[in-house]
Amino acid sequence: MRLLPRVACALGAAGAVLCAWASSAEAGSFDPEGHFVADPGAVAGEGFDGPVERFLPPDSPAECAVEAYTLVEADDAVDGAGYLHVAVGQSCAERFEVALPAVTGSYRATVWMRHGTLDAQMTVLYPDGSGLELVVAKMAPTGRVTSDGWVELASNEFPVDGALAEHVYLRVIDMAALAGADVDALELVPAGDFVPQKDCAGVGDLACSAEEVCVHQRCRLGRLYVPPLPPDGQRDRMVDQMSAELRIFFGAHKTRTEDLPVALARLETLRGAKSAWEFWSGWGHAFRSLHDWHTSASTQAGSVDRSRRLDLCFIEGDGDASQAAWPKHPLYDDILVSHTGPPGDGTHGLRQGDRLVAVDGRHPIEWARGLQAVDWGSWQACDDGVFGEYAERMRGLILAYATTFSVIHCDAAAGTCAPTPETYQVAELPVDGGSQVACDNRPFYHLESGNPGANHGVGWQFFRGRIAGTTEAEAIYGMVWDTLYGGGDPAGWVNSHLIEAVADFRASARGVILDHRAGNGGTLDAPGYLIALVRPPLTLAVFPSYMQVAGDDGPDTPAEGLAFFDTFASVAAWKAGSTSFDPELPVALILHRDGSASDYFPHGMKGAGKVRLFGPHPTAGAFSTFIDYGYWGGVSWQFASGDTVGADGTPLLGTGVAPDEVVLPRQSDLLAGKDSLHEAALAWVRASLKP
């Protein structure tokens, strides 16, 4: 075989590419005749010419016990007379042991693959009680490719205590899971000193170096989760390419004018990055700076397992029972405990109606917004004044990044709260990886029967029936659900439920309460079935594809907005409504954290017939689509693209749908076992019943 100076690239939905690069620290080489020459400094490796030592974790599913690989004798192996053919998908993985010296040190691993798409990582497993946690080093292409199709993957340097390590192994999955992938020539080369694992108190703890971040009370070595550092020239080309993609395809008028310049400036700083972590963490921060509900950048750094739990959920509200003890913040709503799991089981004494007043000495939302540089799961509304996404993720953020959090405890029986808060040290919470109740912004459910379970796990399910506490004569019905992912098929799971619900409401209801407080979005066909209940046919907006508006900042004036609408009305119109709509049926729509198709849904409902929207604040304002990318080494990203313009010429992206009646969950109501938003919606429906 012959080594070719090629690069490995990832394709995105827009046809753009991200390419790997030739590493400056390679392992094995090739002689002039194309024969592989192992690195003389390698201390461990595997040529896959004979039997291999397979590691199967004791908790593996039974189906994973079956070997999903074969040894192949072939002349075109990279090293020796054969290679390994792996055919294993996501449900299982193959793991091949490597014997390292019983010393401390850091190593760089390389392996060659052909065909398929290999998710490869080096894993170091330590026994319980060793004081050391699992180490995972993701692998990505180096840019070296042979003339017969072998591609080199490499990890960044990962530390190993060889005396304590119980297992060191290469873990592989064929992501394509079709015909499988070939694997050969694994090498581990010493690459520096051992980096000990250190405890830390919270994000920003100086115990962690610039190459680490404190997550779940441990200093995490950032380079383990990202591809290698691109060399000087390649860094510039990658920054140029990513910046160009964003300039052409990202966002709409609001985000392109306000947020895109910030992200582009951050991308520029990557040209001088000196380490893999500095480059890739800066890249993630740049994408998070785009301030968009549809935009994210992910690596394995965002999926570190938690070691503790808070079996409860937080919600934005009005801490009316405790504001004498702790005043309301001038910008942010109060943060209340919405609901919990079983008392005493991971709740640490917190109860429904308690108020979270501070995290590391700051208002919880203010603190959470300050994590943008380190929080790979950062997720925020496009609307600058909406913070529901932060509240919904609060418990996970506290466990991952906080040192302390302070809570005012309340007595539900007395309806009173303590005069001072209690402060918790996150590191002192019991080590507990148990399950946690789901957070869906609903303190209670209100159907007469068939409500979601105590774990608040709504997911893809639909719950529908008569509202509890109402009479048969009132005929007030409701539905609880989260997703609007219809997918274009009327017979599909989501759309069929919506169609059936609308038919039942038309036939039987004198009033309806739709509880969509965890609106996960989806596709534009699904909202249309619900809008048809209350509105006659009309064109609500235009929503051109990103290719139709590439590079355009969108309308800047009302006149430009109307011209934009007229231009696309015949080719990209969003139409909804039905001639069989019911103008006399009162429909209350309860919202809290809603975006994407769950923005379009209330936009189409608002102002129609007898419809009233209830919520604490506007929706996310995510009136766009997105372009997503997948890459090697656990790296993926997506960014929003395009805008929606209403029939009046108003660009919609960046401004959420405002409720007709602003209702904050009240602390006093939670303590009394009441749901403020539902109570307001029910009162309005009762006063507006269809004759």
Per-residue pLDDT band for 27 (boundaries 50, 70, 90) equals confident
Say if residue 631's pLDDT is above 90. no
* Window from 547-551, 611-615, 686-690 with minimum mean pLDDT: 547-551
Residue 430 lies in a domain: no
Per-residue pLDDT band for 3 (boundaries 50, 70, 90) equals low
Report the pLDDT value the prediction gives residue 26, as an integer from 0 to 100.
Answer: 55
- Report phi then psi at 121, rounded to 5: -155, 150
Angstrom distances, CA of residue 242 to CA of 235, 236, 259: 11, 10, 15
Residue 142 lies in a domain: yes
Residue 584 lies in a domain: yes
Domain that holds residue 671: 463-537+577-621+656-687
- Strand intervals (E) in 251-302: 296-298
How many other CB atoms are there within 10 angstroms of residue 307's CB atom?
A: 17
The H or E element containing residue 502 is helix 493-508
Residue 381 lies in a domain: no
C-alpha to C-alpha distance for 344 and 439, rounded to whole angstroms: 18
Structure tokens given for 501: 């619900």
Per-residue pLDDT band for 10 (boundaries 50, 70, 90) equals very low
Residue 49 lies in a domain: yes
Per-residue pLDDT band for 344 (boundaries 50, 70, 90) equals confident
Say if residue 250's pLDDT is above 80. yes
The last residue of one of the domains, among 162, 190, 218, is 190
C-alpha to C-alpha distance for 616 and 336, rounded to whole angstroms: 13
Is the separation of the CB atoms in 665 and 336 below 8 Å? yes
Amino acid present at 114: R
Report the pLDDT value the prediction gives residue 17, as an integer from 0 to 100.
Answer: 34
Angstrom distances, CA of residue 436 to CA of 235, 347, 395: 42, 10, 10
Query: Could you identify the residue written with the tokens 């907006």?
Result: 541
Helix runs in 324-468, H state only: 364-369, 388-392, 394-401
User: Global pTM?
Assistant: 0.93
Say if residue 5's pLDDT is above 90. no
Residue 476 CA, chain-centre distance (Å), reads: 36
The last residue of one of the domains, among 163, 190, 217, is 190
Report the pLDDT value the prediction gives residue 20, as an integer from 0 to 100.
Answer: 41
Q: Is 240 helix (H, G, I), strand (E, B) or coil?
A: helix
Residue 545 CA, chain-centre distance (Å), reads: 24
Q: What's the mean pLDDT in 559-587?
A: 96
Residue 297 lies in a domain: no
Report the pLDDT value the prediction gives residue 178, as an integer from 0 to 100.
Answer: 64
Report the pLDDT value the prediction gives residue 633, as an integer from 0 to 100.
Answer: 84
C-alpha to C-alpha distance for 483 and 373, rounded to whole angstroms: 30
Q: What's the mean pLDDT in 194-214?
A: 96
Percent of the chain with pLDDT over 90: 86
Report the pLDDT value the prediction gives residue 7, as an integer from 0 to 100.
Answer: 38
Angstrom distances, CA of residue 453 to CA of 195, 459, 463, 592: 45, 11, 11, 20
Amino acid present at 429: L
CATH number at residue 667: 3.90.226.10
Say if residue 16's pLDDT is above 50. no
Kindly report the average pLDDT of the chain as a whole number: 93
Is the separation of the CB atoms in 580 and 669 below 8 Å? no
Residue 80 lies in a domain: yes
Q: How many domains does the chain have?
A: 2
Give the pLDDT confidence of 82-121 residue by residue, as tens digits: 999 998 877 789 999 999 999 999 999 999 999 888 899 9
Query: What does the angle CA 513 – CA 671 – CA 347 come to, to the nearest 5 degrees?
Result: 100
Report the pLDDT value the prediction gives residue 546, as an integer from 0 to 100.
Answer: 84
Q: What's the mean pLDDT in 332-359?
A: 96
Per-residue pLDDT band for 9 (boundaries 50, 70, 90) equals very low
Give the pLDDT confidence of 313-333 residue by residue, as tens digits: 999 999 999 999 999 999 999
C-alpha to C-alpha distance for 453 and 466, rounded to whole angstroms: 17
C-alpha to C-alpha distance for 600 and 531, rounded to whole angstroms: 10
- Strand intervals (E) in 54-166: 69-73, 82-86, 94-97, 104-114, 118-125, 135-146, 151-155, 158-161
Q: What's the mean pLDDT in 545-565?
A: 92
The last residue of one of the domains, among 132, 164, 190, is 190
Report the pLDDT value the prediction gives residue 92, as an integer from 0 to 100.
Answer: 87
Q: What's the mean pLDDT in 126-154?
A: 94
Per-residue pLDDT band for 287 (boundaries 50, 70, 90) equals very high
Angstrom distances, CA of residue 189 to CA of 27, 102, 108, 140, 560: 7, 15, 5, 16, 61
Say if residue 306's pLDDT is above 50. yes
Residue 255 lies in a domain: no
Structure tokens given for 362: 């700051």
C-alpha to C-alpha distance for 247 and 552, rounded to whole angstroms: 9
Give the pLDDT confidence of 234-243 residue by residue, as tens digits: 999 999 999 9
Percent of the chain with pLDDT over 70: 96
Helix axes 232-249, 260-268, angle to 10 degrees: 170
Is the separation of the CB atoms in 168 and 122 below 8 Å? yes
